Amino acid sequence: QVQLVESGGGLVQAGASLRLSCAASGLTVSSSAMGWFRQAPGKEREFVALITEFDDSTYYTDSVKGRFTISRDNTKNTMYLQMNSLKPEDTAVYYCAAHYAGPYTARESFRSWGQGTQVTVSP
C-alpha cells in the first residue's frame, strides 16, 4: 500500500523560507514522477512542481519559478520542496502525489495523494 506523508509546513512571514518533505512508503520515489500541488481556501487544487523519474527534469508553475525548488533523496525515499521568498499568495495546503499517467500538470494524472501540510504566509 502506497503512503505519502507531507511535513514541514507552518506559519511564516513574507520573505521567509520553508522546506516541505514528502516521505514515501510502498513506492520508490525514483521510479515515478513526483509532484507537489497546493490548494488555497475556496480554490481548485493547482499544480506547483514536478520532478521526473527519467532524468530528474523539473517543472514549475510560473508563479513559483525562481523561488521554489523540487528535489528528492533516493536514499531516504523522500521528495522535497524548498520554498524561498514566500509570499502571502503561497498560503495553501500543500500535497505531494505520484504521477500515474497523463499530463504532468493535471491533477487527474496523479494518484496516491498525501494528507497535506498547511503553509501560511503572513504579510
**Under 8 Å between Cβ of 88 and 11:** no
pLDDT score at 55? 85
pLDDT tens for the chain, 123 residues: list them.
899 999 999 999 999 999 999 999 999 999 999 999 999 999 999 999 999 998 889 999 999 999 999 999 999 999 999 999 999 999 999 999 999 999 999 999 998 899 999 999 999
pLDDT score of 111: 87
> According to the model, what pLDDT value does residue 51 have?
97
Lookup result for grid cell 497546493: 38
Residue 83, all three cell numbers:
520554498
